[in-house]
């Protein structure tokens, strides 16, 4: 609702960035708590968290640029414009970037791969949830037209300038839908973690639930000018990456399950 919270002189402090910072520290606290139960040192979790944050920001911006430029929505010369780069980016690009960075950093720190991943993914879901409140405040990732009692209407011109958000029009609060979905995913993972049969099962479930959740909430996204793949009307970038997430999560479950059976056999 208020993309710019306040200004220090002429420098704007964005609500999205502030909530993203809050989400990072809350997620870090949760990951450290889960890490202690796996005998993973808090400083290693902090190291990983900073690495994932940087990789996530770069990945989200990169996917946003790739989609916008290839779909013709933004000229290549404009992608370095500060106003454009203030946009939150594509969340799945952030997750992809963070996942790749996770593989590299865990190996460097010599941490148990599966157990560390199980500690981080519920925290990632929490960070995503808080980040979606930032999206709601900024007006980005807005919804389609809505006639329901809980519809929201954006009025701040900064939202339209920064994210192309329609003003004075009741819209689905799809950011809040996604916020609730991410909280639900986090809750499921935390409960499921107590009953997992092998390390890595929680992380595989995360990618599957995240993919399914995005497929559902994409139905109410109004910013689908992000582009469609192969010219298919329903195959938005979000749905395409969601399908990959589900497949990746299923692959993790199979891989970790086989590793667990091999370790038992040995």
Provide the Cα torsion 176, 180, 181, 184; round to 10°: 170
Whether residue 200 contacts residue 255, with contact meaning beta carbons closer than 8 Å, is answered with: yes
Q: Which region, left, alpha or beta, applies to residue 236 given φ > 0 means left and ψ of -120 to 50 means alpha?
A: beta
The predicted-structure confidence for 249-263, as pLDDT tens digits, reads as follows 999 999 999 988 886
The encoded tokens of residue 19 equal 């909530």
Residue ranges of alpha helices (H) inside the chain are: 15-37, 42-70, 82-85, 91-109, 113-138, 157-163, 174-193, 201-217, 237-265
The predicted-structure confidence for 182-224, as pLDDT tens digits, reads as follows 999 999 999 999 999 999 999 999 999 999 999 899 889 887 6
Cβ-based neighbour number of residue 95 at 10 Å: 25
DSSP letter at 167? P
The encoded tokens of residue 193 equal 């973690």
pLDDT of 45 reads: 94
Give the three-state DSSP class for 202. helix
The predicted-structure confidence for 242-251, as pLDDT tens digits, reads as follows 888 999 999 9
pTM value is 0.84
Beta bridge partners of 4: 14
Whether residue 226 contacts residue 71, with contact meaning beta carbons closer than 8 Å, is answered with: yes
């Amino acid at each position: 609702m208020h993309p710019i919270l306040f200004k220090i002189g002429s420098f704007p402090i964005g609500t999205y960035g502030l909530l993203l910072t809050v989400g990072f520290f809350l997620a870090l606290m949760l990951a450290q708590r889960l890490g202690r139960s796996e005998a993973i040192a808090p400083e290693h979790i902090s190291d990983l968290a900073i690495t994932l944050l940087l990789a996530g920001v770069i990945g989200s911006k990169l996917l946003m640029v790739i989609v916008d430029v290839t779909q013709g929505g933004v000229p290549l010369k404009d992608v370095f414009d500060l106003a454009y780069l203030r946009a939150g980016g594509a969340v799945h690009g952030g997750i992809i970037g963070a996942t790749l960075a996770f593989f590299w950093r865990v190996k460097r720190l010599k941490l148990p791969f599966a157990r560390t991943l199980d500690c981080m993914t519920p925290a990632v879901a929490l960070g995503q949830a808080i980040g979606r409140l930032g999206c709601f405040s900024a007006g980005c990732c807005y919804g389609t037209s809505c006639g329901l009692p809980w519809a929201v209407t954006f009025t701040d011109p900064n939202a339209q300038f920064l994210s192309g958000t329609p003003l004075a029009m009741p819209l689905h609060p799809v950011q809040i839908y996604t916020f609730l979905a991410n909280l639900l995913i986090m809750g499921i993972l935390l409960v499921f973690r107590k009953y997992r049969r092998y390390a890595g099962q929680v992380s595989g479930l995360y990618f599957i639930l995240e993919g399914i959740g995005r497929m559902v909430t994409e139905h109410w996204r109004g910013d689908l000018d992000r582009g469609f793949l192969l010219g298919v009307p329903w195959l938005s970038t979000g749905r395409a990456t969601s399908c990959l997430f589900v497949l990746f999560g299923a692959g993790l479950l199979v891989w970790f399950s086989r590793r667990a059976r091999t370790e038992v056999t040995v």
